[in-house]
Every structure is written in C-alpha cells, then in structure tokens.
Amino acid sequence: MSAMEKEISPRVNSAMLPNWVNKTVRLTCKLIKFNDGDGRRLTVEAPDGGQVTVHVLKDDVAIADSYLEIIGKVVDPTTIQMLGCISMGNDLGASSSLYPLDFLCSSTFVDMKLVNDTITLIHDERFFGKMFSY
C-alpha cells in the first residue's frame, strides 16, 4: 500500500460500508444517540438513512452538534471505529440560501438527500476516474 493510499478516505453511505471493511472512510451523519454511559459508542444516521454504530476512541472528543462527519476505519458493515470527527452544526443547511423555499419541506431531509446523491455519484462507475477519484 502506497503512502497516498493510506491517506485516502472516501465519503460513503451505510450501504457502501461492506465494501470498505478495514479501510478508512468519511461518513457524513446525524447523531441519533449515545449508546452507553461513558459516551464511547454512538448511533448515527447515514445520509442514505441507514444506522451505523461508531466507536469513539478518544476521551477528549466533545460532540455537541447534531451533524458530524466521522473519519474512521470500517470494522464491519455496520460499525466504524472513529479516528476523527468534524462537527457540522445543528441545522445542516437549514439557513442555506440554496433553499429559499425551505419552509415548504424539511431542509435537513433535503440536505442529507443531497449528501447521499453526491456520494452515490462519486462512486458511480460512469463518473469515477473521469470526474472523481479517491
């Protein structure tokens, strides 16, 4: 494995996790709950609606926002071991000027759908290698 391959962390959804076991990925997600008393496991909702368990490794990880990007190693098709976490706020796109009519629908649903559509396109064989790469 080259040094570049070690640094690659493609964005995925929950349906793609089985293809990335033992590899590092990025999962944009919504925090659903902390699973145990010490805050070492999270349940998150991936952009495609699937639920994923995230094992938190560091004691100093402070998670205060609803939307996150988890960077981590895929342990199995439903579990990621967190290596890092990027907070993305509590209203992913709710005040975005891209959705001036967001009062007509749930803007968070629209934005997570947009995230999932983008991930799907990135991995689509019609575009991969031509427009996108890891």
> Is the whole model's pTM more than 0.85, yes or no?
no
Q: Give the Cβ contact number of residue 115 at 10 Å.
A: 22
Residue 96 lies in a domain: no
Residue 120 lies in a domain: no
Residue 103 confidence (pLDDT): 46
pLDDT digits 0-9 by tens, 6-46? 678 999 999 999 999 999 999 999 999 987 666 689 999 99
Residue 117 lies in a domain: no
The CA distance from 72 to 58, in Å, is 12
Dihedral of CA 23/129/11/125: which sign? negative
Residue 72 lies in a domain: yes
pLDDT digits 0-9 by tens, 63-120? 888 999 999 999 999 999 999 999 988 877 655 444 444 444 444 455 899 999 999 9
Give the tokens for residue 54.
């995230």
Residue 42's domain is classified under what CATH number? 2.40.50.140
Residue 101 confidence (pLDDT): 47
Q: Which domain holds residue 57?
A: 3-90
Residue 44 lies in a domain: yes
Q: How many domains does the chain have?
A: 1
The CA distance from 93 to 126, in Å, is 28
